[in-house]
Amino acid sequence: MKIIVDARGLACPQPVLLVKKAIGENEEVTVLVDNDIAVENIRRLAAKTACGFSVTEKEGGVREIALVRTGAAGQSPAGTGAEAGPSCGAAPGKEAGSVVVVLADNRMGRGDDVLGDVLIRAFIHTFLQLKPLPATIICYNAGVKLAVKDSAVLDDLQQLAQAGVDILVCGTCVNYFGLGDQIAAGRISNMYDILETMAGASRLVRP
Q: Which residues bind another protein (CB under 8 A)?
A: 114-115, 118, 121-122, 125-126, 152, 155
Phi, psi for 78 (deg, rounded to 5) = -95, 155
Give the number of other Cβ atoms within 10 Å of residue 159's Cβ: 15
Give the C-alpha distances (Å, rounded to integers) separating 32 from 9, 10, 20.
10, 10, 14
37 near 88, Cβ under 8 Å?
yes
| 44/125 with CB nearer another protein | 125
| 156/193 with CB nearer another protein | 156
Smallest gap, in angstroms, from Cβ of residue 101 to another protein? 16
Smallest gap, in angstroms, from Cβ of residue 118 to another protein? 6
Alpha-carbon distance of 183 to 174, in angstroms, equals 8
Identify the bridge partners of residue 3 per DSSP, sorted by sequence position: 29
87 near 191, Cβ under 8 Å?
no
Smallest gap, in angstroms, from Cβ of residue 123 to another protein? 8
| 39/148 with CB nearer another protein | 148
Smallest gap, in angstroms, from Cβ of residue 66 to another protein? 30
Smallest gap, in angstroms, from Cβ of residue 158 to another protein? 12
Residue type, 46: A
| 152/198 with CB nearer another protein | 152
Smallest gap, in angstroms, from Cβ of residue 172 to another protein? 30
Q: Which three-class secondary structure state does DSSP give residue 177? A: helix
199 near 92, Cβ under 8 Å?
no
| 69/145 with CB nearer another protein | 145
| 1/129 with CB nearer another protein | 129
CA 23 to chain CA centroid, nearest Å: 11
